Amino acid sequence: MERRDPLSSWRACLPLVVSMMFLADAASAAVWQWGCMGRLGEDQIVFNRDRLVLISGKAPAGKLDDFVRSGDFPVDAKHPASPREAIATYQPDNGNDGLSATMTFSGDGTQKLTLTELSSKKIGHNGRLVAGCRDETIDRFRKSYRVERDQEPARTVTLVCMEYQLSTKGGRTCG
């Protein structure tokens, strides 16, 4: 019976593992974020890829870019001096759908909120090359949604929305 060296298979795989480490450095993850904000009656509705928050009061809830790109909500611990209070917080049922025609969100217990797009108009587009190797695209929209929340009657809301994309290097060398 021939005796086999248990480390021989590891030694054979070592060049493959090392080459994969170098290739992993060459790839860079893409970024895709989106969100909307606007008035919902006497309050504000704000959402991004990670959550939807109903915020008390008519005053603007902040900057759309902050909600979309950094998840900076005025009711977070980051804003302890803010008098704004969250009326309700929901999580998206699918955070990978983007600004789709129908979006559903779930809150504590059995709370549900559904946004159904009624209309959409592109109001802005910016595109640029970042660091000589990544494409950055920002599209802005004015969208009208039907909001259905728990047992409340459906309401219509007009929101300003943003979709942010930052591509991978795509084989390009950053300068």
- Beta strands 31-40 and 102-106, pairing class: unpaired
Q: Where are the domains of the chain?
A: 28-166
Q: Is residue 45 predicted with pLDDT exceeding 80?
A: yes
**Average pLDDT for the chain:** 79
Mean pLDDT of 25-40: 78
Residues 6+ apart with CB under 8 A from 153: none
Nearest C-alpha neighbor of 47 from the set 73, 82, 28: 73
Burial category of 125 from C-beta neighbours within 10 Å (exposed 0-12, middle 13-18, buried 19 and up): exposed
Q: What is the pTM of this model?
A: 0.74
Q: Is residue 129 predicted with pLDDT exceeding 50?
A: yes
31 compared with 81, residue with greater pLDDT: 31
> With left for phi above 0 and alpha for psi between -120 and 50, is residue 62 left, alpha or beta?
left
- Beta strands 43-48 and 31-40, pairing class: antiparallel
144 neighbors 157 (Cβ within 8 angstroms): yes
How many whole angstroms separate alpha carbon 77 and alpha carbon 32? 25
